[in-house]
Amino acid sequence: MSELAKRIIFSVIAAPLAVYLVFLGGAPLAGMLAVASGLAAREFYRMVSETGSDPLWGHGVVLSAALPLLVHANTLGLWTPSLTVWMLLFLELLTVALFTRGSTGKPMEALGSTLFGVFYTGGALSFAYGLRYHPYAIGAMAGTALVALPLIVTWLTDSGAFAVGKSVGGRKLMPSVSPGKTVSGAVGGLVVGIAVSVLYTRFVLPPVAQLGLSLQGAVLFGAVVSAGGQIGDLVESMLKREAGVKDSSTLIPGHGGVLDRIDSLIFTIPLGFALLSWLLIPAPR
């Protein structure tokens, strides 16, 4: 089977399932985010290991997967974030580093990469749960529509950048990090992202979620999220180049690893959450 066929089959199965779990919300959504976070974290620590470092990957994977579940528990009122708990957890990591890495096993490097991986994966993806249950989003359809907004802008930005870059070409954007990306592609992706944001917030968000953005807000949202997605893609390329790997893993047929699929979303989901918290307004009835 060709790589293209594998990509299509995976997308046809995975995309509707992901949308359905977002629509269900609650534990199914938190579970999906936890699985994705844990897998992405494990891939991240594998790349870190390729650089010669030795992160506390077991702790990192568990913590990353736990973050969406803790957000869900907080929403249910079962757990309230506490600085004391996080401090105790940090002390536990220091103790583990002491006995497993010692002074010669680069303990500071291990701790830094471990904590970085937790926030880079589980920390970022947890904001999707926050979007699904945004205070302005009344009902499952409204919450799903809000989660879909940064995702659609991200994916169509990527498609627009690819199409424009291939057809126009020109100066490379950052050849030392990602040789295939061009300035024309980045600009094209940005234009597509802004257009998608304006169209979605005018024709989809008001009837589905009874929410909207002003024209200026939609343009700002599209520009920031589009740029953020492209930066997120470049950041993962930078990390893979340091590790000397082409893909974060071979877990997903035709797509590489989980981290390869969510690299842009790591930036755009938190950015989308922050921007919508500032810009979102109830749609006129």
Determine, yes or no, domain membership for 5: no
Report helix angle 265-279 to 215-243, nearest 10. Answer: 160
- Give the total number of structural domains in the chain: 2
> 97, 132, 167: which is the final residue of a domain?
132
Q: Which whole number is the average pLDDT over 15-24?
A: 93
* Same domain assignment for residues 128 and 149: no
Q: Which whole number is the average pLDDT over 90-99?
A: 94
pLDDT above 70 covers a percentage of the chain that reads: 97
State the residue range of the domain holding 233.
138-285
pLDDT-derived band at 281, boundaries 50, 70, 90 = confident
Residue 47: per-residue pLDDT: 96
pLDDT-derived band at 224, boundaries 50, 70, 90 = very high
Closest-CA residue to 158 (of 261, 32, 12): 261
Determine, yes or no, domain membership for 7: no
> 104, 132, 160: which is the final residue of a domain?
132
Q: Are 264 and 272 in contact (CB under 8 A)?
A: no
* Same domain assignment for residues 245 and 221: yes
Residue 5 has pLDDT above 80, yes or no: no
Q: Which whole number is the average pLDDT over 135-152?
A: 94
pLDDT-derived band at 81, boundaries 50, 70, 90 = confident
Whole-structure pTM value: 0.93
Determine, yes or no, domain membership for 283: yes
Taking the C-alpha atoms of residue 76 and residue 26, their distance in angstroms, rounded to an integer, is 9
Closest-CA residue to 109 (of 97, 120, 118, 119): 97
* Same domain assignment for residues 128 and 153: no
Residue 1: per-residue pLDDT: 58
Determine, yes or no, domain membership for 156: yes
* Same domain assignment for residues 59 and 100: yes
Residue 255 has pLDDT above 80, yes or no: no
More confident residue, 12 or 190: 190
Q: Which whole number is the average pLDDT over 93-121?
A: 95
3-state helix, strand, coil in the chain (%, to 5): 75, 5, 20
Give the bridge partners for 182, in sequence order: 172
Residue 282: per-residue pLDDT: 77
Calculated CA dihedral for residues 136, 137, 143, 149, nearest 10 degrees:
-50
* Same domain assignment for residues 50 and 161: no
* Same domain assignment for residues 102 and 190: no
Determine, yes or no, domain membership for 3: no
Determine, yes or no, domain membership for 271: yes
Burial 166-197 (b: 16+ CB within 10 A, else e): eeeeeebbeeebbeebbebbbbbbbbbbbbbb
* Same domain assignment for residues 144 and 283: yes
Write a three-state SS string for 115-132: HHHHHHHHHHHHHHHHHH
> 74, 100, 132: which is the final residue of a domain?
132
* Same domain assignment for residues 171 and 76: no
Give the number of residues written for the chain. 285
* Same domain assignment for residues 190 and 112: no
More confident residue, 254 or 281: 281
* Same domain assignment for residues 206 and 155: yes
* Same domain assignment for residues 180 and 283: yes
Residue 284 has pLDDT above 60, yes or no: no
Residue 12: per-residue pLDDT: 81
Residue 4 has pLDDT above 80, yes or no: no
Determine, yes or no, domain membership for 8: no
Residue 200: per-residue pLDDT: 97
* Same domain assignment for residues 65 and 100: yes
Q: Are 198 and 182 in contact (CB under 8 A)?
A: no
Determine, yes or no, domain membership for 9: no
Rounded to 5 degrees, what are φ and ψ at 25?
65, -160
Residue 285 has pLDDT above 60, yes or no: no
Which tens digits make up the pLDDT trace of 151-202? 999 999 999 998 999 899 889 999 999 999 999 999 999 999 999 999 999 9
